[in-house]
Chains A and B, each alone.
Chain A
Amino acid sequence: MSGSLLSGSGWSGVLAAVAIAWPAANAAAEPLIIESWRNDDLVIWQDQIIPAFNAQHPDIEVVFAPSAPAEYNAALNAKLEAGTAGDLITCRPFDASLALFVAGHLESLNGLAGLENFSDVAKSAWVTDDGSTVFCLPMASVIHGFIYNKEAFEELGLSEPTTVSEFNAVLDALKEDGSYAPISMGTADQWESATMGFQNIGPNYWNGEAGRLALISGDGHLTDAAYVDAFKALAAWKPYLPRGFEAQSYPDSQNLFSLGRAAIYPAGSWDISVFNSQAFFEMGAFPPPVPAGQDTCYISDHTDIALAVNATSTQKAAARTFLEWMTTAEFADIYSNALPGFFSLSNHSVTLEDPLANDFLSWRGECESTIRNSYQILSRGEPNLENQLWNVSAQVINGTLTPEQAAAEAQAGLANWYPPQQ
Chain B
Amino acid sequence: MSQPVRRRRKRFPFHIVVFLAPATLVYTVFMVYPLADSLRLSLFAPGEAGREIFVGIANYLTLLTDPLWSDRFWGALKNNFVFFVIHMLVQNPIGLLLAALLSSRVLPGRNTYRTLIFTPTMLSVVIIGFVWQLILSPLWGVAEDLMGLVWLDGLFAPWLGLEGSALITLALISVWQFVGIPMMLIYAALLSIPDDLIDAATVDGANHYQVFWRIKLPLIWPTIGIVSILTFVGNFNAFDLIYAVKGALAGPNFSTDIMGTLFYRTFFGFQLQLGNPTMGATVATLMFLIILLGVMIYFFIVQRRLQRYEL
A-side interface residues toward B, CB under 8 Å? Answer: 1-6, 8, 70, 73-74, 77-78, 94-96, 99, 103, 186-191, 242-249, 252, 256, 374-375, 379, 382-387, 390-391, 394-395, 398, 400, 416
CB distance A188 to B160 under 8 Å?
A: yes
| Residues of chain B contacted by A78 (CB below 8 angstroms) | 268
Instruction: Tell me the complex Cα distance, A383–B57, Å.
Output: 21
Instruction: Tell me the complex Cα distance, A74–B282, Å.
Output: 18
Interface assignment of B301: CB less than 8 Å from any CB of chain A: no
> Which listed residue, B91, B253, B264, touches A400 by the CB 8 Å rule?
B253
Instruction: Tell me the complex Cα distance, A293–B120, Å.
Output: 59
> Which listed residue, A2, A73, A190, A387, touches B125 by the CB 8 Å rule?
A2
Which chain B residues (270-289) contact chain A, with CB distance < 8 Å?
Answer: 270-275
CB distance A190 to B272 under 8 Å?
A: no
A/B pair count, beta carbons within 8 Å: 148
Interface assignment of B56: CB less than 8 Å from any CB of chain A: no
CB distance A247 to B138 under 8 Å?
A: yes
Q: Give me 24 A-to-B residue pairs in the complex whose CB atoms sit less than 8 angstroms apart, sorted by A's number.
A: A1-B178, A1-B181, A2-B234, A3-B234, A5-B240, A73-B269, A74-B268, A78-B268, A96-B274, A99-B274, A187-B251, A188-B160, A242-B138, A244-B137, A244-B138, A247-B159, A248-B158, A252-B137, A375-B272, A383-B68, A387-B273, A394-B253, A395-B252, A398-B163
CB distance B252 to A398 under 8 Å?
A: yes
CB distance A391 to B254 under 8 Å?
A: yes
CB distance A386 to B272 under 8 Å?
A: yes
- Minimum Cβ distance to chain A for residue B211 (Å): 29
Q: Which residue of A lies closest to B136 (CB)?
A: A247
B-side interface residues toward A, CB under 8 Å? Answer: 50, 68-69, 87, 91, 125, 133, 136-140, 157-163, 174, 178, 181, 230-231, 233-235, 237-241, 246-249, 251-254, 260, 263-264, 268-275
CB distance A5 to B254 under 8 Å?
A: no
Q: Which residue of B lies closest to A379 (CB)?
A: B272
CB distance A400 to B260 under 8 Å?
A: no
- Minimum Cβ distance to chain B for residue A18 (Å): 17
Known A2-B125, A5-B238, A247-B137; contact A394-B252, beta-carbon cutoff 8 A: yes
> Which listed residue, A2, A247, A390, touches B235 by the CB 8 Å rule?
A2
Instruction: Tell me the complex Cα distance, A391–B216, Å.
Output: 50
CB distance A249 to B133 under 8 Å?
A: yes
Instruction: Tell me the complex Cα distance, A146–B39, Å.
Output: 50
Instruction: Tell me the complex Cα distance, A249–B161, Å.
Output: 9
| Residues of chain B contacted by A242 (CB below 8 angstroms) | 138-139
| Residues of chain A contacted by B270 (CB below 8 angstroms) | 73-74, 384, 387
Instruction: Tell me the complex Cα distance, A249–B246, Å.
Output: 9
Instruction: Tell me the complex Cα distance, A385–B275, Å.
Output: 15
| Residues of chain A contacted by B264 (CB below 8 angstroms) | 5, 74
Instruction: Tell me the complex Cα distance, A374–B230, Å.
Output: 43
CB distance B234 to A244 under 8 Å?
A: no
> Which listed residue, B252, B260, B272, touches A94 by the CB 8 Å rule?
B272
| Residues of chain B contacted by A387 (CB below 8 angstroms) | 249, 270-273
CB distance B138 to A243 under 8 Å?
A: yes
- Minimum Cβ distance to chain B for residue A392 (Å): 9
Instruction: Tell me the complex Cα distance, A242–B140, Å.
Output: 12
CB distance A248 to B161 under 8 Å?
A: yes
> Which listed residue, B231, B237, B251, touches A6 by the CB 8 Å rule?
B237
In the A-B complex, the 10 residue pairs with the closest CB atoms = A244-B138, A246-B161, A247-B161, A1-B234, A247-B158, A74-B268, A244-B158, A2-B238, A384-B273, A379-B272
- Minimum Cβ distance to chain B for residue A411 (Å): 14
- Minimum Cβ distance to chain B for residue A193 (Å): 10
| Residues of chain B contacted by A249 (CB below 8 angstroms) | 133
- Minimum Cβ distance to chain B for residue A53 (Å): 31
CB distance A395 to B272 under 8 Å?
A: no
CB distance A74 to B161 under 8 Å?
A: no
